[in-house]
Amino acid sequence: MMCEKCRQADASVHLSLFEGGCEVHRFCEPCAREFLESSHDPRMAGFRWQLYGIQTEGFVNMRARIIRIERETFVVHVIKSSHFPDDSELTFRRGLVSDETWNVGVELNFICTVDELKALIGSA
Ligand SMILES: [Zn+2]
């Protein structure tokens, strides 16, 4: 998938934001750095975490792979997270992902506040 900014390089940095739906940004690394520096949106803390490993208080960052899909929930395997142990499994409500990424094997990179996370997480 191409970077949404330069449309030349492969987008290696993905970020999903949740606010009445799922908004996904896909950038190559140089564009992600540029975007991060020019943005004052606190939710961009997800890029900060992905690019520099810097965690922002109050936010949860996660890189995870969808391993199972059920009716209205899905299970992810945590690759790296600021909040959950590596290799743990979590169940989320479907609202977390857009239809195009609603597939087993898809890797998700997302950020949300701790409260949003509580609303998204399904019963285990
Ligand atoms: Zn780019």
pLDDT tens for each residue of the chain, 124 residues long:
899 999 999 998 888 877 666 778 899 999 999 998 998 887 788 888 888 888 888 889 888 999 999 888 999 999 999 889 999 999 988 876 777 778 899 888 888 888 888 888 875 4
pTM of the model: 0.74
Compute, in angstroms, the gap from residue 96 CA to the centroid of ligand 1. Answer: 25
Let me know: does 92 contact 76? Beta carbons within 8 Å.
yes
Q: Which residues surround ligand 1, an ion (CB under 5 A)?
A: 3, 5-6, 9, 28, 31
Residues in the chain: 124
107-113: strand order across its sheet? 22-27, 13-18, 107-113, 59-69, 73-81, 89-93
